[in-house]
Structure 1
Amino acid sequence: MHRLIVALLSSVDAAIAVAVGIAATLAPLTLLWVFGFGGGADWGVLWPAAVAVWQLGNLVPLHIMLPPEYLAATGIPADAASFALSLAPLAFAVFTAVFAARSGVRASRADAWITGVASSIVVFAALATGAALTGVNGVAVAVTWQAILVPTLVFALPALTAAVVTEWIEAGSGAIARLRDRVESMPHGWAETPALIARGSAVVVVGLVGLGAAVAAVAVFARAGRIVALFQAGDADVLGATLLTLAQLAYVPTLAVWGLSFVAGPGFAVGEGTSVSPAGTQVGIVPGLPALGAVPESTTSWLLLLALLPVALGALAGWIARSRLVHAGAPTPGRAEDAVAARLTITAGIALVSGAAAALLCVAASGSVGPGRLAHFGPDAGPVALAVGLEVLVGAAILLLSPRGSHDPAAPEPPAPAAAAEATTEPIELPRLTSHGPSRVPD
């Protein structure tokens, strides 16, 4: 495909990623403006609000400054008028990342991945700059360079990663293809190491996110009565309840990461000095948001068994890697069945990448929602990364580093038995019974 066409298509992808992300907030706000205020208020104030929500969803921290008239009407103390809001509704970041990865894959398959990725990043950065400059408001303030750089990184990193991975897998020529061919020419075990680390880590990370989402879903169903009670206590009309529900749906990926941290063991916080983990729960008073009604008031030590699930995911990744090593080629005479150092590297690589990915997810899913004790919500990246890394390391080591028995399909085939000696052509003498005793059959 012509490079100009690739650049244009990638630019359209970037524009759609920004437009859909902002429209997802602007559309509900417009409905609120029409049905809630009857169109009497200035519609222009909705644009800064939509931009601020989009920026927050793409990991940009906001500095909230409540106006004095609002403080007087609500009775909020003056010392709570200014605070940081940084707990991101990750649905926006997930959409941006998925759209960016799709654009990177398409650019790679068009044999112009550098052109496609570069053009999409430039267009996304330009649109993010425009949104940051036109969406300035006095209530939710974002630092300009963060409002431009952070969303651009959320788009750029998945686009670049997807393009490079696709080049590694599918490209027949180019610098990445030459590097891949050079790696694949290495001795058995080392040739498969990069791909097996990436594949095993992907299995673990996807599995952890799935487990976190399942735990969050179970908590929501188990605490459905409490969630409904918090909705009713809010005394919101149909439109307000709908907007509140949509806002909480944007936090579903955030809650999935909280569930991941719970499965791993360290858990998460819902305020300064609180902890929600299988080992114990101490929450105190939490904000009356319906989604937080899913937070359990107590836990049982039996939930510590959930830590076996990351171990199982590590074992699954180790089994996949070991199977690939088996089918990559049989060992040659005079050499160990495969490089022990390579298997050690794969095991450690899967654990390190999985722990780093868990830490990155925890950083994205934690932050502040208000002043004082509300400044700490979500999991701590360090303990979760350490727990995930160790659990995955144990599981992967069980499969990758255990000795191979004779029943293992990876074990070398025993040498073929020597050919049987050729049968002689001489006749065989058989005994014959006579009245005088056995005698030989004559030749």
Structure 2
Amino acid sequence: MNRLTASLLAALEAFIVVAIGVFIPLVPLTLLWAIQYGFEIDWIVFWRAASDIWLLGNGVDLTITLNDATLQVVGLRKAAEPFVVGFAPLAFALFTVLMGVRTGRRAVRSGEWLPASITSLIVFAACSGAVGLSALNPVATPNVVAAFVIPTLVWGLGLAIGVGIGLAGEDDDPVMRRLDDLRDRVPDHIAGLGVQALRGATAAVAALIAVAALVVMVSIAINFSGIVSLYETAQLGVVGGIAVTIAQIAFMPNIVIWAASWLVGPGFSLGTGSIVSPSGTITGPVPSVPILGVLPDTDLAFGFIGLGVPLIAGFIAALAVRDSAVHAIGIRSKVAHLAVTALAIGVIAGLEMTLLAWWSSGALGPGRFVSVGPHPWLVGALAAALVGVGALLGMASGSSERVAASARSASRLGQERDR
């Protein structure tokens, strides 16, 4: 595929991803405009709302300024001043990243991944900025500079992952040759242990997130009648119920990360002065959102059992990478190197959980809702400690005979390469 064709296809994919991302909230909002409001309101209001939702989901903060009529309905004196909403529905960012991965891999297969990637970034930034400019209004004002930059960075993250995956098997690519040259300057056992630590940490966090998703699913099943009651109390109607359900699905990645933070220990907050954690639940008044019906009403007697999940995740992840780590160590001191690798697994897992917790939290409104979600650094620190302890146990649980055999095999392979 020639350079022009690859660049045009990448640009088209970037445009389509932005269009689909905006249309996902726009479709139910348009149905609401037609059915609920009978075409009486200007449709551009719903376009701006859909644009705001997409921008918010991709990390762009909104400044909300409510008029007097809305303030009377809301009844919050603190809402009289402009306030920032930065609580992102992560399903939109996840969609952008996954589509970026797909585009990056396709760009590598085209043989012209660099110009294709640059073109797609430029087009995505232009489309994202255009959405931000079209969403400007006196009530909800997105940060225009952030509208050009932050969604493009999210797209670029997926693009970089996709290109990296595509180039992993390409030995003749100049970028891969440069990376190989850099890696040759690092001792083999250090590079090998670093790779295994990253693999183990990512596997541990993935396992923790998977268990958290299962916990959310079970909680929804157990509390389904309460969720239905909240739907009935809200009296949303068919179209309104569909719109609220789609909105809750958009926030489902946030909820799963919150559940993972609960399993780690710190839990999460639903505003200043509230806490949902294994040590206790104090929520105070919360919005009547149906999905919040899964929250525990009282303290859970056996809530601290959840702390075993990150321990077990670290243990299993360490066992999974232990043999590869032993091969990387060779005939060197196995105990010290395996211990350092286990600690590295904990540290990297803690950093990953810090990023996820930070990404899933934000400002939801004025007053006590300026901070909603988990505390990133506390979640990361406890995740690092628990996963690290589990990884130490996992590294210490292998067969000594197998370790010795693996070390001898690695030593022989190294000697053969030296010859």
Task: Give 3-state SS (helix, strand or coil) of 2:406's partner.
Answer: coil
Q: Aligned runs of 1:264-275 on 2, under 5 Å?
A: 264-275=264-275
- Report whether the alignment pairs 1:379 with 2:374: yes
How far, CA to CA, are the matches of 1:381 and 1:375 in structure 2?
15
Q: Would the alpha carbon gap of residues 375 and 337 (structure 1) be closer, same or farther in structure 2, given more than 3 Å must change? A: closer
How far, CA to CA, are the matches of 1:16 and 1:171 in structure 2?
32
- Report whether the alignment pairs 1:76 with 2:71: no
* Selected match of 2:357 from 340, 359, 362: 362
- How far residue 282 of structure 1 moved from its aligned partner, in angstroms, is 1.3
Q: Would the alpha carbon gap of residues 298 and 405 (structure 1) be closer, same or farther in structure 2, given more than 3 Å must change? A: same
Q: Would the alpha carbon gap of residues 402 and 169 (structure 1) be closer, same or farther in structure 2, given more than 3 Å must change? A: farther
How far, CA to CA, are the matches of 2:168 and 2:136 in structure 1?
42
Give CA deviations for 1:362-392 in whole Å, capped at 9, x if unaligned: 1111112222112221100011000111111
- How far residue 192 of structure 1 moved from its aligned partner, in angstroms, is 2.0
Match of 2:244 in 1: 244
- How far residue 124 of structure 1 moved from its aligned partner, in angstroms, is 0.7
Q: Aligned runs of 1:281-320 on 2, under 5 Å?
A: 281-320=281-320
Q: Would the alpha carbon gap of residues 320 and 181 (structure 1) be closer, same or farther in structure 2, given more than 3 Å must change? A: farther
- How far residue 31 of structure 1 moved from its aligned partner, in angstroms, is 1.0
| Structure with greater helix percent | 2
CA contact (8 A) 1:188 1:338 kept: no
CA contact (8 A) 1:167 1:177 kept: no
CA contact (8 A) 1:188 1:339 kept: no
Q: Aligned runs of 1:18-57 on 2, under 5 Å?
A: 18-57=18-57
Task: Give 3-state SS (helix, strand or coil) of 2:400's partner.
Answer: coil
- Report whether the alignment pairs 1:158 with 2:148: no
* AA aligned opposite 1:385: G
CA contact (8 A) 1:58 1:88 kept: yes
- How far residue 6 of structure 1 moved from its aligned partner, in angstroms, is 2.2
- How far residue 57 of structure 1 moved from its aligned partner, in angstroms, is 1.0
How far, CA to CA, are the matches of 1:77 and 1:214 in structure 2?
37
Match of 1:399 in 2: 394
Give CA deviations for 1:142-178 in whole Å, capped at 9, x if unaligned: 1211222211111112211332344244443323234
Match of 2:190 in 1: 190
- Report whether the alignment pairs 1:176 with 2:176: yes
Over the aligned positions, Cα root-mean-square deviation in angstroms equals 2.4
* AA aligned opposite 2:315: A
Match of 1:424 in 2: none
* AA aligned opposite 1:79: K
Task: Give 3-state SS (helix, strand or coil) of 2:228's partner.
Answer: helix
How far, CA to CA, are the matches of 1:172 and 1:401 in structure 2?
40
Task: Give 3-state SS (helix, strand or coil) of 2:189's partner.
Answer: coil
Larger Rg over CA atoms:
1
Identity %: 33
Give CA deviations for 1:386-437 in whole Å, capped at 9, x if unaligned: 0111111112222335685235553648xxxxxxxxxxxxxxxxxxxxxxxx
Q: Aligned runs of 1:105-116 on 2, under 5 Å?
A: 105-116=105-116
Task: Give 3-state SS (helix, strand or coil) of 1:281's partner.
Answer: strand
How far, CA to CA, are the matches of 1:30 and 1:206 in structure 2?
37
* AA aligned opposite 2:27: A
How far, CA to CA, are the matches of 1:295 and 1:404 in structure 2?
43
Match of 2:12 in 1: 12
* AA aligned opposite 1:29: L
Match of 2:413 in 1: none
Which range moved further: 402-411 or 266-275?
402-411
- How far residue 5 of structure 1 moved from its aligned partner, in angstroms, is 2.4
- How far residue 293 of structure 1 moved from its aligned partner, in angstroms, is 1.5
